[in-house]
């Protein structure tokens, strides 16, 4: 079993602009491609885990989310030769949360802060969640990390500053607060194994 770094998408890798209806409107946050490349160079498994409720809300089909991820991977590669080892996302949403499309409207263990995406990745790729890190800009990212036994890192990009200021979602207790993904990767690489840390 190996450790992994799990990454949220919007506000961590690409700029937070709400629901992205046009593929060309997905753009990387400066410095993230180089940060992902550093993880690649250290042979750290790098995995996207993202709530994407657009299909459940009827905004666009799941194929549009796939097209956004194709662009994301292409930009990472073009900018720094960086790559994600796996991509997981949750297109589902319960009716009370706003799900309307019958194909994607349901309760699910995959939607953050539930741990379904992390468990699926761990099962498929033989990952050690207790030695892994989750980087996100929302309280639900940190909560999911802790629910799965991972180390939770909150970045100030995206909604991170608003979470810290108590103006978005709820207060949470990240293991580390980083200005952006580059600083998060600095900290992760300094940790080595997190055995005995917590």
Is residue 19 part of an annotated ligand binding site? yes
Is residue 36 part of an annotated ligand binding site? no
Which residue's structure tokens are 């953050």?
A: 112
Is residue 25 part of an annotated ligand binding site? no
The angle, 0 to 180 degrees and rounded to 10, between the axes of the packed helices 32-41 and 62-80 is 80
List the catalytic residue out of 8, 101, 141, 143: 8
The reply to whether 175 belongs to the active site is no
In terms of DSSP bridges, do strands 45-51 and 4-7 run parallel, antiparallel, or are they unpaired?
A: parallel
List the catalytic residue out of 10, 101, 143, 180: 10
Distance from C-alpha of 83 to C-alpha of 187, rounded to nearest angstrom: 20
The reply to whether 10 belongs to the active site is yes
Is residue 52 part of an annotated ligand binding site? yes
- Token duo for residue 28: 């990387």
How far is the CA of 21 from the CAs of 7, 98, 129, 158, 190, in angstroms? 22, 18, 33, 18, 38
Is residue 112 part of an annotated ligand binding site? yes
Annotated binding-site residues read: 8-10, 16-19, 50-53, 90, 111-112, 137-138
Annotated binding-site residues for Mg(2+) read: 8, 10, 137-138
Question: Which of the residues are catalytic?
Answer: 8, 10
Annotated binding-site residues for Zn(2+) read: 90
Annotated binding-site residues for substrate read: 8-10, 16-19, 50-53, 111-112, 138
């Amino acid at each position: 079993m190996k450790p992994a770094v799990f990454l949220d998408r919007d506000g961590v890798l690409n700029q937070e602009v709400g629901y992205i209806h046009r593929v060309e409107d997905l753009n990387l946050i400066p410095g993230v491609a180089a940060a992902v490349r550093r993880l690649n160079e250290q042979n750290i498994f790098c995995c996207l885990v993202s709530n994407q409720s657009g299909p459940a809300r009827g905004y666009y089909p799941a194929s549009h989310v796939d097209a956004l991820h194709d662009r994301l991977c292409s930009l990472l590669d073009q900018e720094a030769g960086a790559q994600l080892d796996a991509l997981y996302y949750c297109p589902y949403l319960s009716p009370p949360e706003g799900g309307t499309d019958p194909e994607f409207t349901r309760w699910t263990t995959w939607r953050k802060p539930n741990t379904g995406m992390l468990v699926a990745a761990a099962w498929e790729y033989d990952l050690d969640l207790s030695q892994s890190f989750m980087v996100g800009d929302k309280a639900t990212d940190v909560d999911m990390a802790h629910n799965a036994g991972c180390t939770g890192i909150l970045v100030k990009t995206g909604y991170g500053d608003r979470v810290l200021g108590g103006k978005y979602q709820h207060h949470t207790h990240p293991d580390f607060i980083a200005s952006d993904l580059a600083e998060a990767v600095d900290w992760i690489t300094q940790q080595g194994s997190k055995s005995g840390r917590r």
